[in-house]
Structure 1
Amino acid sequence: MRPDLVIFDCDGVLVDSEVISCRVHAETLTRHGYPITTEQVAERFLGRSSREARREIEAELGRVFSDDLEAQLVADVLRSFAESLEPIPHITAALDALTQPVCVASSGTLERIAFALNRTGLYRRFAPNLFSAEQVAHGKPAPDLFLHAARQMGVPPSRCVVIEDSVPGILGARAAGMTALGFVGGSHCLPGMDARLRAAGASVIFDDMRQLSDFII
C-alpha cells in the first residue's frame, strides 16, 4: 500500500536498545525485591511501558514499589544508552527512501525517546512528532497510542502503516485499524519472533531496514 503516514516504534526499530533496556529493568527490579532475569523481562514486558509493567508486578506482589523506582530506572537506562546505544543498521537509508511523513509512537517516556534519538543522530528526522505511552490512558497492546499519533498527525488510521518489533505493538496497531509490519532485525530478536509477530497480525515480516521501501510504495 501507499500510506499517508509511517509510524515507527522506537526501541528495537529505530534504535537497538531492547537488550540494554531489558537488562537494566531486570537489575533494577531485582534490587527492589523482585528477582527477574533479562530474558524474563523481555518475554513478559517487551513492547510495553514501564508503567504497565510496574502495575502488573505490584499486583502480583501485593505491595507497591518505593517512589524512587522510576527515577532509578530512567537514570540507569539513560546512562547505559549514553555508553553503548546504536541505531538499527540501515535505518537512515530506510528513512531516506520514504516520501511520506513519519512519526514515533513508543512505550518509552518522551525523555527516553528524545535521548535515544539524539544519541543515535535520528532526532531531527522525527521531532517534534514524538508520541509516548505516557500521553495516553492505556499503552500497547491497547490502540490508544497509535490513535493518538494518527490524530495528532491528521491522518486517518486506515492510511497509517506501523513498524513494530513486539507482539503488544503489533496487536495495538491492528486494534487501531492500521497496517502493521513486523521488524525482527534488532539484536534482541530470537528465533520464533517472526512467527509470533505474524500470529499477532503483522502483514509482513522483515529483518533488514533496507527492505522497508519494498513494502511501502
Structure 2
Amino acid sequence: MEGLPTSHPEVYQKFSEGFHVIRRSDRYWAGLSTDLVIEQVLMRSMKTSGGLTHGRGMDEIQRLVWTLSLPSCAEIKFTMQELAGIRYGTSDQHQEATSARKERDVRDTWKLVAFLQTYDPFTEDPSIHSISSGVTGDKKVNVDKANSIGETIIASMVGKNVHEYTFKRKDQAITLGSKVSLSKDEAVETDPQLLFQRLCVLSTNEPSLSSSKNIPV
C-alpha cells in the first residue's frame, strides 16, 4: 500500500477520491469499507433464510444465479415497500454521538480511572503480577518475552520438514494465568495491599471490628 501511488497511480487516485468506501444510502455516516460490506451484507444474506447455505447448494451455477438475481430482488423489495407505504429510515445522528452514549462513556472512563488509582500498574515492583488479583508470577512466567520466543520458534523451523516438526513445551510463552495453581505444600504470593482492601470492603457489612477479623480473604 505504501508503494501504491507509484505502482498503481490510477487506483491511488480513486482511493483518494473516496471510491474505496461503499455507501448504501445518502446518510453522512453511511460509508463502509468494502470488506465490511462483504461480511455484513453479502455473507449475511448467504447464511440467512433464502441464502445459498439453506438447501440451495454451493455449485457454480447456483452461486451465479443467486448473485445475478440480487439486483432484481432489491428492486422487488423496494417496490413492495412503496406499495405498502413502509419505508425504513434512520436519522443522520451517529449512535456514538448521542447524549446517552456520551454519559455512558464518561461513567466508564471514571470507572477505569478509579480502578487505576486503586491498582497502580506503574509500580517499581520488577516482578510480574496480576493487577486485579495480586497474584505474583514466578520465574517460569515469560510472557513478557513473547516476541523473542516466537523468533526462536521460527528460527528452529528453518530447514525442517513441516510434517516432522513438533513444537516443544519448553519453547512457549507462559502466561500468569496458565501457571497459577493452589497447593497445600506451596504458598502462593499475593499482594498484601489487595488483601487489606478486600478486608475493608467486606468489613463494611459487619456489625463490629472483632467479627470482621474472621472473614476469609
Normalized against structure 2, the TM-score is what?
0.20
Structure (1/2) with the larger strand percentage: 1
Which structure would you say has the larger Rg?
2
Normalized against structure 1, the TM-score is what?
0.20
Relative contact order (alpha carbons < 8 A, sep ≥ 6): 1 or 2 greater?
A: 1
